[in-house]
């Protein structure tokens, strides 16, 4: 379980997080929504110790992130960043995915198995010898996810995983998130996409101006004025809302 206890975070004199309480359990998908600049990424970076709270604390399976290193925490919490440009540093897809498990001290066969498993999970089997930087935006996103999955962490943070994916890629992410949950991982899904949150999450948190504006079941989003929170209304969402009100 990851526990976020009344955290504040200030940057350049500005309070970006203003007293946030949140939890993420294993086997749970939590969607984190909110407008640009609300503090979602800042909050998520606290979960693997990349950022430390100015006030309050974060416990990862009981470990206080202030007393632990990022290296140690990254064995528990994997993070697929929103921006991928500077993420890849090898010349081959296989090597890119193998780097993480290799650094955990696994033997060659075990690493190979992990790499193949992670690549097939994201739909990149057969891409082993491609150059990471020659991939399309959506394929790079899948590769970044595979790199984190290969680490075998108990918690996975996906920061805007569908932002550069087409319809098929979107569906693949939905399936992947469901699979991670079935494997007992805790998934934090940062997104602007209400449809994605409704489709895969068990619980949602809406962050607004560094504070939690809503926390509850995904269907609860349908009672909010989504525009107010920088979230897009779609026809499908309107239909969901109506069918809920009419009780079908
Ligand atoms: N490295 C930084 N230096 C200074 N300010 C920063 C830095 N990173 C983020 N901020 C500021 O902190 C606030 C929250 O940013 P954050 O990236 O956490 O928001 P977000 O909700 O993830 O937004 P988005 O949906 O646009 O990704 C913003 O006002 C942003 O400008």
Ligand 1 pocket check for 191: Cβ under 6 Å: no
pTM as predicted? 0.91
Ligand 1 pocket check for 231: Cβ under 6 Å: no
- Whether the Cβ atoms of residue 5 and residue 57 lie closer than 8 Å to each other: yes
- Residue among 9, 12, 35, 39 whose CB has most ligand 1 atoms within 8 A, to mutate: 39
Determine the average pLDDT of the residues in 101-111. 88
47-101: per-residue pLDDT in tens? 999 999 999 999 999 999 999 998 889 889 999 888 876 788 889 999 999 998 8
What is the ipTM for the molecules in this complex?
A: 0.94
Strand partners, 101: none
Q: Sheet of 29-33: strands edge to edge?
A: 77-80, 155-159, 186-190, 29-33, 203-208, 211-216
Ligand 1 pocket check for 38: Cβ under 6 Å: yes
Determine the average pLDDT of the residues in 37-51. 95
- Whether the Cβ atoms of residue 170 and residue 89 lie closer than 8 Å to each other: no
Which domains are delineated in the chain? 29-49+69-247 (3.40.50.300)
179-218: per-residue pLDDT in tens? 899 989 999 999 988 999 999 999 999 999 999 999 999 9
């Amino acid at each position: 379980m990851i526990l976020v206890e009344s955290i504040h975070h200030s940057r350049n004199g500005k309070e970006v997080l203003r007293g946030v309480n949140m939890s993420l359990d294993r086997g749970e998908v939590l969607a984190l929504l909110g407008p640009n600049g609300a503090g979602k990424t800042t909050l998520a970076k606290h979960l693997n110790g990349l950022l430390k709270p100015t006030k309050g604390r974060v416990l990862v399976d009981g470990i206080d992130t202030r007393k632990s290193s990022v290296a140690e925490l990254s064995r528990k919490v994997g993070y697929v960043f929103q921006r991928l440009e500077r993420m890849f540093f090898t010349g081959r897809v296989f090597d890119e995915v193998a780097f993480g498990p290799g650094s955990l001290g696994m033997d060659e066969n075990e690493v190979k198995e992990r790499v193949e498993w992670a690549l097939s999970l994201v739909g990149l089997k057969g891409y082993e010898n491609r150059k990471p930087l020659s991939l399309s935006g959506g394929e790079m996103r899948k590769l970044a996810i595979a790199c984190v999955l290969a680490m075998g962490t108990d918690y996975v943070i996906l920061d805007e995983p569908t932002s550069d994916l087409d319809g098929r890629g979107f569906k693949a992410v939905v399936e992947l998130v469901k699979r991670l949950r079935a494997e007992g991982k805790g998934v934090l899904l940062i997104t602007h996409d209400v449809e994605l949150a409704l489709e895969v999450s068990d619980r949602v948190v809406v962050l607004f101006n560094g504070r939690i504006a809503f926390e509850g079941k995904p269907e609860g989003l349908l009672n909010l004025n989504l525009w107010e929170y920088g979230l897009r209304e779609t026809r499908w969402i309107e239909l969901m809302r109506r069918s809920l009100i009419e009780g079908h």
